[in-house]
Amino acid sequence: MLSPKGEDLVLPSKPVPKQHIVEAIGLAYRWHDELVESGDHIKPFADRRKIGRTRILKLLPLTNLGPNVLRNALAGTLPPRVTLDDLLEAADDLDWSRRAQSLGLDRANATA
């Protein structure tokens, strides 16, 4: 169950990945790979797939997240307060350790 801000209201006893975050990361990597492979620009790519160009542009930065943040997102070990918007904002920072810190991942959790 999510709050209006996208934060978990019920915390599971075992880590469970947030499905919408996993799907967003998967789409971002899929689209990135297809764009690189095809050499397409985003507009024709989006038009052929009937996907909004802005949706693609919004999610593509997720491919810039560091491996520690991705590992935590996909394993369900992100802090409960971390939302997809938080990940998108963190993806704009080129310093992977600063990203992890801004998301509340301590050093042990960030490298696990």
Question: For residue 112, is pLDDT > 50?
Answer: no
**What is the rounded average pLDDT of the residues 23-44?**
96
Do the Cβ atoms of 72 and 87 come closer than 8 Å? no
The token pair at 48 is: 């052929």
Structural domain boundaries of the chain? 19-75+83-111
**What is the rounded average pLDDT of the residues 75-100?**
88
Q: pLDDT over 90 for what percent of the chain?
A: 61
Strand, helix or coil at 76?
Answer: coil
Do the Cβ atoms of 83 and 49 come closer than 8 Å? no
**What is the rounded average pLDDT of the residues 102-109?**
69
